[in-house]
Amino acid sequence: MYHELLFDATFWAFLLGIDQELAEAARAEKCPSCGCHLHHANYPRKPRGPRNLPEEYRYRLSFCCAGDGCRKRVTPPSVRFLGRKVYLGAVVILVSAMRQGPTPRRVRELTELFGADRRTIYRWRDFWNEHFPKTTFWKVARARLVPVFEIVEFPRSLLEVFVRAGNDRDGWKKLLCFLSPITTTKGLEIKVSDDRGQPAEDAPRRF
């Protein structure tokens, strides 16, 4: 089962290592506005979900420009935190996916497994159904996936595309890296019109 991995402390340490690499890459790029060095300015976080998380899960890696008069905030993409959601990205994906498919798991069962309450789980469903397909990120990314894979529903189809059953860390890494642009505020933006200039609401809904 997919979810056993989420109770494995070494999996969370593995994702932390990827986030540290993403952060180093962002820091090496320096400030996108003025080219100055970036200083650490991490955001405190209190993630919910698995127990025994590494200490470093108490903050999201982020930077602040050192330049006087700029001080721009630079937050690299993350494979751990999904925007401002208090649950970790992998938990949000997995719990949402387990509600889908031919044999959906009951909300009560998922609440017992992961501690997310009913309202939270429904909010995630709305995020994947209503928000995610309209993001600028997906409108670009779908060009890479849709010709090759059939996307039936989010996020289950994405999980199936990237993660082979069982202890597939590499698959999770690919999936979370693929989705990492939506972990920044800009990545979750919604385009007001589609490519033909039509309002997004009129776009074909295959989700």
Q: Using CB under 5 A as the criterion, which residues of the chain lie in contact with Zn ion when the complex forms?
A: 31, 33-34, 36, 65, 67, 70, 72
Q: Which is nearer to Zn ion, 34 or 53 (CB)?
A: 34
Angle between helices 169-179 and 9-29 (to 10 degrees): 40
Q: Which is nearer to Zn ion, 65 or 179 (CB)?
A: 65
Q: State in angstroms the smallest separation of the CB of 68 from Zn ion.
A: 9
Q: Which is nearer to Zn ion, 31 or 116 (CB)?
A: 31
- Under DSSP, is residue 132 helix (H, G, I), strand (E, B) or coil? helix
Q: Which is nearer to Zn ion, 73 or 106 (CB)?
A: 73
CB distance 100 to 125 below 8 Å: no
What is each CA distance from 6 to 104, 113, 132, in whole angstroms?
19, 10, 23
- Under DSSP, is residue 47 helix (H, G, I), strand (E, B) or coil? coil
Q: State in angstroms the smallest separation of the CB of 191 from Zn ion.
A: 27
Q: State in angstroms the smallest separation of the CB of 21 from Zn ion.
A: 22
Task: Give bridge partners of residue 190 from the DSSP assignment.
Answer: 135
Q: Which is nearer to Zn ion, 50 or 76 (CB)?
A: 76
Q: State in angstroms the smallest separation of the CB of 109 from Zn ion.
A: 48
Q: Are strands 63-65 and 59-60 parallel, antiparallel or unpaired?
A: unpaired
Nearest CA to 25 among 67, 77, 68, 72?
77
Q: State in angstroms the smallest separation of the CB of 37 from Zn ion.
A: 9
